[in-house]
Amino acid sequence: MAWRSSGATNEALIENLARHGLITSSRVKQAMLGVDRAHYAPSSPYQDSPQSIGHAATISAPHMHAAAAESLLPFLKPGSKVLDVGSGSGYLTHVLAELVKPGGRVVGVEHIQPLVELGTRNTRKSEEGRELMDAGGIRYVKGDGRLGWAEDAPYDAIHVGAAARDVHPALVEQLKAPGRLFIPVQEGNYQHIYVIDKKEDGSVTRKKEYGVQYVPLTDAPKD
């Protein structure tokens, strides 16, 4: 299914994802058309598959990035604040920033310094990316994403790009009311996406969705 959506260009990839029902929102489609995956994936950027980016990290498959953006979409408006935990290549961080401009802000938190730098470098490859970074629409920071990023909290939306052992409480705390957290959770040998909503009255609901395969959210490697 996923592989059928590959294309020869960024546009072909995104059009194929839409044709196969893996992107259903026109806003997500526009945002993904606006970010060339070749700036973020070191090889086969227009294939609908994950790719290694070094440091045991991968850029997720385009259909997974689409699914994450679509899930968070009700909370991604001009001016929204977003946290992207495990920003890795920076691809989704940039797509999320496209979805909250003008006036929005996305913080990408990574625990590996060379990946903080990779995300920054990749985003600066395009004019739109440079503009977003220069205006503060995207910021990459080094930290343990299990603790969120308190400095810019609370967030309308939080995306976690690595499989957590737990729905880390700091992430729920740093959500606005209303706000949404998209997080893959490791349960035994399996991982599932959980969508955690904080309602306007502060109550929290969690919904278990589909099975996935992400790299784990871990302790930082020793420098």
The residues assigned a catalytic role are 60
**The one among 31, 66, 72, 92 contacting ligand SAH by CB under 6 A:** 92
191 binds ligand SAH (CB under 6 A): no
The minimum distance between CB 58 and ligand SAH, in angstroms, equals 5
- Show the binding pattern over residues 136-155: x = contacts ligand SAH (CB under 6 A), - = does not: --------xxx---------
89 binds ligand SAH (CB under 6 A): yes
- HSE at residue 158, side-chain half, CA atoms within 13 A, is 36
Does residue 115 bind ligand SAH (CB under 6 A)? yes
Q: Is 217 in the site for ligand SAH (CB under 6 A)?
A: yes
80 binds ligand SAH (CB under 6 A): no
Q: Contacts with ligand SAH in 22-61 (CB under 6 A)? A: 55, 57-60
Residue 218 touching ligand SAH (CB under 6 A): yes
Q: How far apart are CA 113 and CA 220, in angstroms?
A: 10
10 Å CB burial of residue 55 (0-12, 13-18, 19+) is middle
Q: Residue 174 class from Cβ within 10 Å (0-12 exposed, 13-18 middle, 19+ buried)?
A: buried
Task: Quote the DSSP letter at residue 166.
Answer: S
Helix (H) or strand (E) holding 82: strand 81-85
Asked if 215 touches ligand SAH (CB under 6 A), the answer is yes
b/e 192-215 (16+ beta carbons within 10 angstroms → b): ebbebbbeeeeeeeeeeeeeeebb
Binding site for ligand SAH (CB under 6 A): 55, 57-60, 85-89, 91-92, 109-112, 115, 144-146, 161-162, 215, 217-218
